[in-house]
Structure 1
């Protein structure tokens, strides 16, 4: 089976959408500072965003590993259990960072704002999802799952700034 990372790299529709509006770039896997997981599990940076944030695989294995996101301001959260779940989130709710309450109403408002800026957003998203072979949840479903992962299993994946042995702040409170 072909990896999703390989599929993203090989498909312009998927790579373009994930790059923007997803703000997910497979060529930015280096984090700005030395970090580790408090639990001692392996940490592998594999993508980043335009603001200096990094996506990490946690533990050993492949694309099914939990995915942690760390921003450049000292915040972190477990976003998904596996790359497919992360990509579904980025496809249907690229505005996830702007959500604070994780309600359907908040998501609908943000979706409307994004649709004004990118009128063919849904068409681009659907082409990318088809290229990746992913079925899509609704944005409220994806955001509810994000919150569930971040505040449930995410507690096991505390990111630590290694030189000072200080934890990153949670990006999503539970």
Structure 2
């Protein structure tokens, strides 16, 4: 397991890597300005490490003396733990860049709903960015993180979101954020309803 400091340093020192992480995987280490005075209910420290195109932020929780879970806070008032450490978080964003939408269409955190949505999202991802497979392989190798299937990553993501207790409630000047699990099922997406796309996600 690679240390978060080591990983962040590797990204900062490699312009091609940091640019691709930002462009293809929406993990931009240049975007470190999130909400004003963010905090956790437990009082554990938060360190903003990257942002995405929508204004969401990735945070390391806790101190360097302990494993540091990664929390994602969206610009829409939702937040939660997405990985047990930075290496796992990077494996998620690289292995399945559309992970946010699998949460949006999770029907409140249902794994079957997430897997169904993921199958459609994988297809959309390839259509929208045909070179994504090559980019994923190069980025994962550069970061020394495993490139795993979306099904594995989504199951792990769901477990991370569900396992975080009240101590990891994210609070800023607007109040306490809600859950990352969205209320919608995949059937809510009308475009997906109009075709007979895959129902399981085995890989990209």
Alignment TM-score > 0.5, same fold: yes
Q: Equivalent residue of 1:170, what SS? A: coil
CA distance in 2, matches of 1:85, 1:13: 21
Match for residue 171 of structure 1 among 180, 189, 193: 180
Q: Equivalent residue of 2:24, what SS? A: coil
- 2:18 corresponds to 1:15: yes
Contact 1:80 1:146 in 2 (8 A): yes
- The structure with more strand, counted as a fraction of residues: 1
Q: Within 5 Å, give how 1:81-92 maps onto structure 2.
A: 81-92=84-95
Count matched residues. 172
Q: Equivalent residue of 2:139, what SS? A: helix
Question: What TM-score, normalized to structure 2?
Answer: 0.76
Ranges in structure 2 where 5+ consecutive residues have no aligned partner: 184-204
CA distance in 2, matches of 1:24, 1:107: 20
Q: How big is the shift at 1:12?
A: 4.4
Contact 2:80 2:164 in 1 (8 A): no
Q: How big is the shift at 1:13?
A: 4.8
- 2:35 corresponds to 1:52: no
Q: How big is the shift at 1:94?
A: 0.6
Q: Which residue of 2 aligns with 1:111?
A: 122
CA distance in 2, matches of 1:94, 1:62: 30
Relative to structure 1, the CA distance from residue 19 to residue 72 in structure 2 (aligned partners, 3 Å threshold; closer, same or farther) is same
Q: How big is the shift at 1:36?
A: 0.8
Contact 1:55 1:68 in 2 (8 A): yes
- 2:93 corresponds to 1:77: no
Q: Within 5 Å, give how 1:8-157 maps onto structure 2.
A: 8-61=11-64, 64-99=67-102, 100-101=105-106, 102=111, 103-153=114-164, 155-157=166-168
Residue by residue over 1:134-170, the C-alpha shift from the partner in whole angstroms, topping out at 9 and shown as x without a partner, is 1122111111111101111354310012x46x31111
Relative to structure 1, the CA distance from residue 62 to residue 128 in structure 2 (aligned partners, 3 Å threshold; closer, same or farther) is farther
Q: How big is the shift at 1:10?
A: 2.8
Residue by residue over 1:89-117, the C-alpha shift from the partner in whole angstroms, topping out at 9 and shown as x without a partner, is 00111101111235333212111111111
Ranges in structure 1 where 5+ consecutive residues have no aligned partner: none
Q: How big is the shift at 1:28?
A: 1.1
Cα RMSD for the two superposed structures: 2.2
Q: How big is the shift at 1:15?
A: 2.0
Residue by residue over 1:19-73, the C-alpha shift from the partner in whole angstroms, topping out at 9 and shown as x without a partner, is 1221111011121322210011111111111111111111111794101111112
Q: Equivalent residue of 2:20, what SS? A: helix
User: Greater CA deviation, 63-72 or 42-51?
Assistant: 63-72
Q: Which residue of 1 aligns with 2:202?
A: none
